[in-house]
């Protein structure tokens, strides 16, 4: 006791003798690494010369080790390096691991067990993400040649790597692949693709299907106009909006850039959920649906027809309709147009509302007017569908890469002014005060909660894409140059995103003034 009092006395004396201007430095306690965990963990390039271009340092947390590997990683056979306290036994699936020697498949999490001589043990999951941390699609054509046709499929393989984001919804198997699109296919070096899996699969946890689309977004330097427009479509309440995931694409070992993997528009339970017609479905009830149509001036379908207003409707499903089916849907669409342009078109019982789902037209109009989508003037990429014993609906949403101010003609780049309102069918609908009022009401219902919060969604998406956009624009060095039909070339992804955000905010503010309810 006396000894403790003496120590306390000398400690107080020391503190009192310190200069007032001096700070008393109290050293931080030493952090002692638990004996059952590694002190260091990583992957050295010298141990993985064929797989790594540089060392990868692992980051240790409470229950896992994470690492981000560089560009050229093949992660299915890697040698890890680790240092542990003396006597610690390291195993994976009960197999002893030797630092700098043992190989494992790190394309999925690998669980390491560290056991001390005292018998204590700890398990850590090693999660290695690669490149930009987005999911990766590895495409390899059977002949190792590029995809050169949008008409003929070629055989290929596809491996989908979740890259830490997805443990399910992966794929490793055969596919068919071909090009898709029009100007995006013929005039742009970064090509869009359509892929057909050999068997249905829920890619990246989207509902299982065989048919998928890879959108290149070459002329959209934000890389997100389609993605943001799909989000807006969901917020506006369109019956079906294609699901989508950002991915990195490698084709025959070459990095092709950031793509948007999305569902192809088709009739199915998880997509356009309507009856699907067989060629034999010709009874008076069966023949009423379902039909999937696309307005497309290019007549890109085996079966199509033209209305009296020269609008070209292509049958996407059924692709090969029976004569009765073809005649039915052609007559139905033509009758709809005739009634719409008739003198009594506003009649609530016998007018256009008898033939079309009005709410679908309201929501579709707002989506395309807000984004000022150049193709949506009943020219191309305008989808419609008709279910059995139901009216004609418009949608789903599609093709927004040159929307939202990303075009330099017809004054469409300006956030002010109506555009879709002046298109066929739509301009006539607005001549009905009841339809115009529905549009105003719907806009005002959504402006605070769904429209004015878009900037946050865009900023979150930009942050998510930060590493990916760097890699994409290293592959495609176009940020400083004009790409048809860009309205601006601002030199950085950050500025392109700011332009999109500013444009949409100005657009919504202008429409808010125009759609004021008195």
Which of 215, 231, 263 terminates a domain? The answer is 263
Domain match, 451 and 490 both: yes
Question: Considering its fold, how many domains does the chain have in total?
Answer: 3
Q: Please check whether residue 143 lies inside any domain of the structure.
A: yes
Q: Please check whether residue 34 lies inside any domain of the structure.
A: no
pLDDT band at 68 (very low <50, low <70, confident <90, very high): confident
Domain match, 458 and 331 both: yes
* Domain extent for 401: 286-514
pTM of the model: 0.85
**Is the pLDDT assigned to residue 24 strictly greater than 50?**
no
Domain match, 448 and 311 both: yes
Query: Can you give the pLDDT at residue 75?
Result: 81
Distances (CA, A) of 290 to 63, 250, 270, 391, 403: 52, 38, 15, 10, 30
Which of 78, 96, 130 terminates a domain? The answer is 130
How far apart (Å, rounded) are the C-alpha atoms in residues 323 and 223? 43
Q: Please check whether residue 243 lies inside any domain of the structure.
A: yes
Which residue from 126, 129, 122 is spatially nearest to 60, judged by alpha carbons? 126
Domain match, 290 and 438 both: yes
For residues 313 and 321, the answer to whether their CB atoms sit within 8 Å is no
Query: Can you give the pLDDT at residue 7?
Result: 39
Query: Can you give the pLDDT at residue 129?
Result: 84
What residues have CB less than 8 Å from 253, skipping those under 6 apart? 140
Which of 230, 263, 296 terminates a domain? The answer is 263
Mean per-residue pLDDT, 121-134:
90
Query: Can you give the pLDDT at residue 23?
Result: 38
Domain match, 477 and 332 both: yes
Q: Please check whether residue 449 lies inside any domain of the structure.
A: yes
Query: Can you give the pLDDT at residue 19?
Result: 41
Query: Can you give the pLDDT at residue 352?
Result: 99
Which residue from 85, 51, 81, 77 is spatially nearest to 65, judged by alpha carbons? 81
> Is the link from the previous residue into 281 a cis peptide, with omega within 30 of 0?
no
Instruction: List phi, psi (to 5°) of 120.
Output: -75, 145
Give the alpha-carbon dihedral of 38, 39, 42, 44, to 10 degrees: -120
Domain match, 479 and 373 both: yes
pLDDT band at 72 (very low <50, low <70, confident <90, very high): low
Which residue from 390, 491, 37, 438 is spatially nearest to 237, judged by alpha carbons? 438
């Amino acid at each position: 006791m006396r000894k403790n009092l003496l120590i306390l006395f000398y400690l107080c004396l020391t503190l009192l003798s310190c200069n007032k201007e001096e700070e008393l430095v109290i050293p931080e306690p030493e952090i002692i690494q638990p004996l059952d965990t590694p002190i260091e963990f990583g992957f050295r390039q010298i141990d993985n010369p064929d797989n790594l271009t540089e060392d990868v340092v692992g980051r240790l947390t409470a229950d896992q080790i994470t690492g981000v590997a560089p560009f050229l990683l093949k992660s299915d056979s890697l040698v890890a390096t680790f240092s542990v306290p003396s006597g610690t036994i390291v195993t994976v699936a009960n197999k002893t691991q030797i630092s700098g020697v043992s190989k494992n498949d790190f394309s999925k999490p690998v669980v390491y067990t560290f056991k001390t001589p005292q018998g204590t043990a700890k398990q850590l999951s090693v999660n290695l993400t690669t490149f930009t941390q987005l999911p990766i699609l590895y495409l390899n054509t059977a002949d190792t040649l590029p995809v050169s046709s949008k008409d003929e499929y070629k055989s290929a393989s596809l491996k989908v790597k979740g890259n830490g984001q997805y443990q399910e919804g992966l794929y490793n198997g055969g596919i068919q692949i071909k090009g898709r699109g029009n100007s995006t296919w013929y005039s742009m070096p970064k090509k869009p693709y359509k892929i057909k899996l050999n068997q249905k699969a829920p890619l990246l946890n989207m509902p299982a299907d065989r048919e998928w689309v890879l959108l290149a977004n070459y002329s959209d330097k934000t890389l997100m106009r389609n993605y943001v427009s799909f989000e807006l479509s969901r917020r506006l309440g369109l019956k079906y909006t294609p699901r989508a995931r950002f991915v990195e694409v490698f084709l025959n070992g070459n990095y092709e850039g950031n793509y948007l993997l999305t569902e192809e528009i088709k009739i199915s339970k998880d997509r356009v959920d309507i009856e699907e017609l067989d060629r034999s479905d010709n009874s008076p009830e069966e023949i009423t649906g379902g039909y999937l149509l696309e307005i497309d001036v290019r007549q890109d379908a085996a079966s199509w027809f033209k209305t009296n207003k020269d609008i070209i409707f292509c049958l996407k499903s059924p692709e090969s309709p029976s004569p009765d089916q073809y005649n039915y849907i052609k007559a139905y669409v033509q009758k709809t147009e005739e009634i719409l342009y008739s003198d009594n078109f506003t009649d609530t019982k016998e007018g256009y509302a008898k033939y079309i789902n009005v709410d679908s037209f309201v929501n579709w109009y707002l989506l395309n007017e807000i984004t000022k989508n150049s193709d949506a003037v009943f020219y191309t990429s305008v989808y419609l569908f008709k279910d059995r014993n139901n009216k004609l609906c418009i949608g789903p949403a599609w093709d927004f890469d040159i929307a939202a101010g990303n075009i330099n003609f017809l004054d469409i780049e300006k956030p002010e002014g109506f555009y879709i309102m002046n298109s066929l069918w739509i301009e006539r609908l607005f001549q009905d005060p009841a339809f115009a009022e529905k549009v105003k009401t719907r806009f005002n219902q959504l402006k605070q909660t769904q429209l004015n919060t878009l900037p946050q969604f865009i900023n979150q998406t930009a942050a998510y894409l930060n590493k990916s956009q760097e890699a994409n624009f290293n592959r495609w060095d176009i940020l400083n140059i004009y790409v048809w039909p860009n309205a601006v070339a601002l030199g950085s992804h950050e500025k392109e995103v700011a332009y999109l955000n500013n444009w949409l905010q100005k657009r919504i503010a202008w429409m808010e003034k125009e759609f004021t309810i008195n």
